[in-house]
Amino acid sequence: MKRIAIIGAGIGGLTAALAFKQKGFNVTVYESAAEIKPVGAGIGIANNAMQIFKKLGIHEKIEKAGVKVSSMNITDHKLRSLSVMDLKEFEVKYGVCNISIHRAVLQNILAEEIGFENIKLSKRLLKIEQNENVKLFFEDGSIETADVVIAADGIKSVVRNQFFDRSQIRDTKQICWRGVSKVLLPKDYNNKAVEAWGKGKRFGFVQINDQDIYWYAVVNESLINQHDDNLHDLFTDFNNDVLDIIKNTSEDTVIKNRIIDLKPIHKWYNKTVCLLGDAAHATTPNLGQGACQAIEDAYMLAELYQEDKPIETVFKEYQKRRIKKAHSIVNSSWRIGEIAHLENSFAIYLRNLLMRCIPTSANNKQLQSIFNVDYLIDK
């Protein structure tokens, strides 16, 4: 049986390992970290990804460990509603719901399903050699072999940089903070994901368990004083509920980074090596689809893979089916990031006015295009 090596134990890599394992294939995950350590605090698993997890038989575990999100609310900085997306219609249609969950909890659910014996830690990849099989060279001096390599090693993918044309990482010039707050919010926020848009900045939050609120804050770099990036000061004009969330967060747990993506590339495979998730199509987080698109990749690859089919044929079909939707997500998310971060007061007034006028049918049409995963399955 062919040996499948997956580089990276993020959500995409672990989902791929689970999907291949359930089909009876020999899979090993190689992760550079010494432990499966979460990057980020919380994560939203949208309906399309939950449909995949239902096919993999783990959606109920994820639902029990997280919190159901039945509406997504975009507001102004004072939490006055601009747009509400009701997700109940899709819960009924697909038999699953959107879930918010701590990233570490989701990773552990996946790792337990895969079996920790199939995940090798402290394996930082240096390079790959392709001959009659594939040799993987790691920083610790070890060498592993495989027949197929799936690179789920993120936006700065070592594998992509070695085997594919030079790609462009794009900088939004926005800075993001993420954290988990111990705060009791009014019941009005139950089962809601909220994102408040201000002047060149926004703040999102959602409950991820009985005690914790996951939040993120994104600010245009131009608005940040290099010597003072105190979040409370940056969001002092926002609703008090936002300030309470910030105040009740332990500062040493907050993660800060730049918002970047990968300019769309049009080749995801090279002989026996294939890209997955952020390595192929990293997106800004504005649609909440980064991990979800990696989950779709993982399921698609496992569905198409057959021992008696040439591997390049499998990869070609995977790319053909996935690239249009993945690139659409990347481009739409980039545009939303620009619209959400306007700084001109009149432009913001017009934006908010238009947001309130968008019909429910238009929002549902966009959500339908994101949530539909029928194209992944052969009829």
Residues 124-134: pLDDT tens digits? 999 999 988 99
Q: What band does 241 get if pLDDT is binned at 50, 70 and 90?
A: very high
Could you tell me the pLDDT band of residue 378, with boundaries at 50, 70 and 90? low
Q: Are 100 and 207 in contact (CB under 8 A)?
A: yes
pLDDT in tens, 264-283: 999 999 999 999 999 999 99
Structure tokens at 169: 């990482």
Residue 257 pLDDT greater than 60, yes or no: yes
Higher pLDDT, 134 or 38: 134
More confident residue, 311 or 376: 311
Residue 36 has a pLDDT of: 78
Find the angle CA(251)-CA(255)-CA(258) to the nearest 5 degrees: 135
Q: Are strands 26-30 and 119-120 parallel, antiparallel or unpaired?
A: parallel
Residue 17 · residue 264 · CB < 8 Å: no
Comparing 70-74, 308-312, 340-344, the range with the smallest average pLDDT is 308-312
The percentage of residues in the chain with a pLDDT greater than 90, rounded to a whole number, is 92
The number of beta carbons lying within 10 Å of the beta carbon of residue 267 is: 14
Q: Among candidates 15, 279, 282, which has minimal Cα distance to 153?
A: 279
CB neighbour class for 301 (10 Å; exposed up to 12, middle 13-18, buried from 19): buried
pLDDT bracket for residue 140 (50, 70, 90): very high
Which of the four pLDDT bands, split at 50, 70 and 90, describes residue 227?
A: low
The sign one gets for the Cα dihedral 187, 231, 198, 239 is positive
pLDDT per residue over 80-92, tens digit each? Answer: 999 999 999 999 9
Residue 38 has pLDDT above 70, yes or no: no
Tell me the domains of the chain and their CATH numbers: 3-67+98-170+263-340 (3.50.50.60)
What is the distance between the alpha carbons of residues 167 and 156, in angstroms, rounded to a whole number? 10
SS3 339: helix
Quick check: 252 pLDDT over 50? yes
Does residue 372 carry a pLDDT above 50?
yes
State the average pLDDT over residues 188-205.
97
pLDDT at 35: 86
Quote the CA–CA distance of 195 and 76 in Å, as a whole number: 8
pLDDT band at 379, cuts 50/70/90?
A: very low
Residue 40, pLDDT above cutoff 80: no
Residue 335 in this model has a pLDDT that exceeds 70: yes
State the average pLDDT for the chain. Answer: 95
DSSP helix/strand/coil, 43: strand
